[in-house]
A and B are shown apart, each in its own frame.
Chain A
Amino acid sequence: MDVRSQISMTFHLDKCIGCHTCSVACKNIWTDRKGTEYMWWNNVETKPGTGFPSRWEDQDKYQGGWELDKGKLRLRSTGRKRVVANIFHNPNMPTMDDYYEPWTYEYSTLFDAPEGHDQPTARPISMVTGDYIDVKAGPNFDDDLGGSRVYAENDVNLEGLPEETRQQMFEIQRLAFFYVPRMCNHCANPACVASCPSGALYKRGEDGIVLLNQERCRGWRSCVPACPYKKVYFNWSTGKSEKCILCYPRVETQQPPACHHSCVGRIRFLGNVLYDADKIEGLASLPDDRLAEAQRDLILDPNDPEVIAGAKKNGIADSVITSAQESPTYRFVKEWKMGLPLHAEFRTLPMLFYVPPLSPVLSAAHHGPTSLESDELFHEIEDARVPLQFMASLFGAGNTEPVRYALRKQYAVRMWRRYKTVGDVDEETAMRALREADCNPDEAEDIYRLTSLANHQKRFVIPPAQREMAIEMMSGDTHEHKGSTGFGFRQDTIRV
C-alpha cells in the first residue's frame, strides 16, 4: 500500500444551473492573456451537446487517453515510434475549427461613432486576423441547445443508443438537457503527463495537482492530443502548453479554486482523499464496464488505522489526514457511492467526480393544460427523460448500474425529505424508496445536509499545504521563500 493524498473534486450536477460563472471566474484570473484567448480551463457544456472542443469525446478523432493493448495500458495518441513519425506535426490536434476563432468587440465604435439615426454597435473582431468576423462558433455554442440538430444530435454519447431511444430524446415534450461543467480532472493516471517528451508535466506529490512546468515545456504538444478531456491547451504566444492549475496559489493558502469559490449553484465540493498508488495500474486496466465503480477502490478509508499508518509512513502530515476524514468528496464518492468519474473508459482515473443529475419530471399537454405523465411525484429512474444509457455513457463507462444506483439514492433522499417536510409522501413509501436505494434515514439526512445546507467550510475541506515542510525537505532553508505565497513565474515565459 502506497498511500498518497489527492485533492479531489465532486460536482453535483443536479444543482448546476449552467450559468458559466465558473468559466468566467477562471478566464478572468488565468486565461485573459495573449496566447490564451481560446483557452477555457473551465467550461460548461450542455448535454446532449458536442462540447468544447467540438466532439471532444470522440477519441477516434482525437486519440486521447489510454487503451488496452494485450492487457497493457498504452497511450492512444503517441508511443516511441509515433513520437518520431510525428515529430514535426501531430496529426490528432484539435484545429481552430474544433475550438473556435476567438474574438473581441470593437468597443471603441460605441464612443467614436458619428451621430446617426441608429445606436452604434460594437462589431465582433477576430482576435486572430483582426478583421470583422461573423461569429460561427464559441466555447459554449451548444449552450441550452439540448434539442438542436447541430449540437445535440451530434453528441458522441448518443452513438451507442438504439434509434428509438434517440428519437425519444428529441421529442418536443420529452426534450431535456443538463449541464456538465468541465475542468482538468487532475487524473491519477494522467495521459498528458505520460505523453510529455520533455518531462514538463508532473503530478504534484503532496496533493496530486497536475501541473505543467513552463520552464521545461518545449512545445512538443504531445499533451494536447493525449489528454482525452482536451484540457491542455497550446499557447501560441509563448510556444508552450498550459492547463488548469487548480488555482494552487489559492489552494496553498486554504482558499478554494476560483471556479469553486464563485459557483452560484454551490454544486462544487472539494476535499482531499487518500488513495493507494499501487492500485493505479491494475484499476486502469480493468474491462470498460467495471471502470467507473472500480475507481472507488482506489480511494482509501481515512479512518482505517492501517491507512493512517501507511499515510504517516509516506510522510503525509496529520493535518492532511484529518482533512481527508472530513472530505466531502470521500463522502459522495466512497461512502454514498453517488459520485462517478466522467468517461472512465479513457482510463486516466479522473479525480473529479460527478453526481449524475435527475431529469425533470415528465409532463405532456393533452389538448389543454399540461399534466404530469406519471402518477408518481418524481419520475421513476427508468422513465427519465434523459435515458439511463446516455447517462451511463457519460458517467458509467457504458455500464448503467453505477449510474442507476446514484440516481436511485438521490430519488430516495428526495422522497425522504418530501415525507419529512411537506408530508405528501407517506412514511412507508419513503422508507421503501430508501431501502430500494440501499440507503437509510441517517444517511439520507447526511446526504441532504451536505447537498443542500453545507456552508463554505463544509464544501471545501482544503488540507494545509505544508509548504514549509516541502521547502525544508528540498533545500533546508525555510527563509528562502519567506514573503512569497508560492506563486509566481520565476522566469518570463516569453519565447526568446
Chain B
Amino acid sequence: MRGYGEIPVFTNTSLIVPILLLAGASSAMAQDAAEAQAFFDSNCVACHTIGGGRLVGPDLHGVNTRQTREWLIDFMVDPAKVLASGDAYAQEILAASNQVPMPQLPGLDAAMAGALLDLIAEKSGTPIAAGPVEEAVPFTAADVFLGEELFVGSQAFMHGSPACISCHNVDGVGGFFGGGNLGPDLTEVFTTLNGRRPLTAWLGSPASDTMKPIFADAKMTDGEINALVAFFDAQVNGESAADRAAVAGTASASFFYSGLAFAVLILLVFAFLWRNRYTATRTPMVEASKR
C-alpha cells in the first residue's frame, strides 16, 4: 500500500535528529512531513488512500479543498464530537462509509492533524496516477478454509497475533459457544467495510484502539490477510451464507443459556458438597432432650 514514496520517509528518529540539527528551519518542515508520513502509514492507510480510491473511508485526494482547514482539524482530532454535533457533512461521510465512524486516534492532536493536511495537500498536487489497476486474484476454497482455521485459532498466525475468535464472533463458526463478545460481530464485516480492498487494507494495519497495540508487534502476513478476507467474503457471498443467516444470533444465545445452566450446576454441586455446613450441634441436642 506504500506506493507513494516520492518523498523520502524518515522513520528512524536517530537519523532525523542530526539532520535537524544541521539543516535548521527548513528541515523542521521536512521533519514534520516525515513524521506525518510515518503516522499516515501506520494509522490512516487502514481506511484511506490519497488518490487510490475509496476504502472504508473516503479517498483523501483533495480533501483540503472539500472543507475548511479548521473543520478538518476538528474532525480529525475528535471525530465522535463532530459527529455528535450533528454536522451535515460529517453525517454524509458516515453514511458513505456504511455507518463505520472514524475512530479517535491516539497521538492525533491538532499539530499532527495540520501536518497531515499539509502532506495530503502536497500529494494532491500530483494528479491521480492512471496506471493499470491490479487485477485481484480470485479467492479459492483453500483460501476460505485457511481463513476459517486462522479465525478459530486451529492454525496459528505466523507472527503470533491472537486468534480472531477470542474477541470476535462469526455466526455458525466456533461450535457451540461461538466467538467472543469483546470485539464487534464480524459476520458481515465484508459488507460493512466495503469489500475486499478496504478490508485487506484495514487488516494490514488495524486502527482501532483495542486492536492497534495488539497487532503493532504481531502483524499478519499478506497471505494470512488474504485468507481471512476470503473467509469473510464467504460469510456474505459464499454458498453457505444463507445457512449462516438462519443461525444468526444463536451462538451468543446458546452461550448465555449454557453459562446460566453451568452456574446453576456449580451451585448445586457445592450445595451438595457442603450440605453439612450449617448443621449445628448444640441446638439439635437441646431440642432432642425436650422430646
Contacts and interface: CB of A to CB of B under 8 A. Distances in A.
Nearest to A92: B276
A25 B20 CA distance: 83
Interface in B264-289: 270, 273-274, 276-283, 285-286, 289
A143 to B, nearest CB: 15
Contacts of B276: 91
Interface residues of B, number: 14
Q: Which of A61, A85, A150 has the most CB of B within 10 A?
A: A150
B281 A98 contact: yes
A51 to B, nearest CB: 11
Interface string A219-260: 000000000000000000000000000000000000000000
Q: Which of B270, B274, B281, B285 has the most CB of A within 10 A?
A: B281
Interface in A430-474: none
A54 B282 contact: yes
B287 to A, nearest CB: 10
A154 B273 contact: no
A150 B289 contact: yes
Interface in A20-58: 50, 53-55, 58
A55 B277 contact: no
Nearest to A94: B281
Given A97-B280, A98-B280, A91 B274 contact: yes
Nearest to B277: A91
Interface residues of A, number: 21
Contact of A98 (B270, B273, B282, B289): B282
A345 interface: no
A97 B277 CA distance: 12
Contacts of B280: 95, 97-98
Contact of B289 (A100, A137, A153): A153
Contacts of A61: 281
Given A97-B281, A98-B281, A137-B282, A149 B273 contact: no
A149 B289 contact: yes
Contacts of A153: 289
A89 interface: yes
B285 A150 contact: yes
Interface in A91-130: 91, 93-95, 97-98, 100
A91 B275 CA distance: 8
Interface SS of chain A: helix, strand, loop or mixed? loop
Nearest to A61: B281
Q: Which of B278, B279, B282, B285 has the most CB of A within 10 A?
A: B282
A89 B277 contact: yes
A50 B285 CA distance: 10
Interface string A60-98: 010000000000000000000000010001010111011
A11 B165 CA distance: 70
B289 A95 contact: no
A99 to B, nearest CB: 9
A154 to B, nearest CB: 5
Contacts of A53: 281
B46 to A, nearest CB: 46
A216 B245 CA distance: 58
Contact of B273 (A54, A55, A58, A91): A91
Q: Which of B274, B276, B277, B285 has the most CB of A within 10 A?
A: B285
Interface string B121-158: 00000000000000000000000000000000000000
Contacts of A93: 277
Nearest to B270: A89
Contact of B282 (A85, A91, A97): A97
A98 B270 CA distance: 22
Nearest to A153: B289
Given A149-B289, A150-B286, A150-B289, A89 B281 contact: no
Contacts of A100: 282
A235 B277 CA distance: 19
Nearest to B278: A95
Given A149-B289, A150-B286, A150-B289, A54 B281 contact: yes
Interface string A145-173: 00001100110000000000000000000
Nearest to A88: B270
Interface of B: 270, 273-274, 276-283, 285-286, 289
28 contacts: A50-B282, A50-B285, A53-B281, A54-B282, A55-B285, A58-B281, A89-B274, A91-B273, A91-B274, A93-B277, A94-B281, A95-B278, A95-B279, A95-B280, A95-B281, A97-B281, A97-B282, A97-B283, A98-B280, A98-B281, A98-B282, A100-B282, A136-B286, A149-B289, A150-B285, A150-B286, A150-B289, A154-B285
Given A54-B281, A93-B277, A95-B279, 16 more contacts: A50-B282, A54-B285, A55-B281, A55-B285, A58-B281, A61-B281, A91-B276, A94-B281, A95-B280, A95-B281, A97-B280, A97-B281, A98-B282, A136-B286, A137-B282, A153-B289
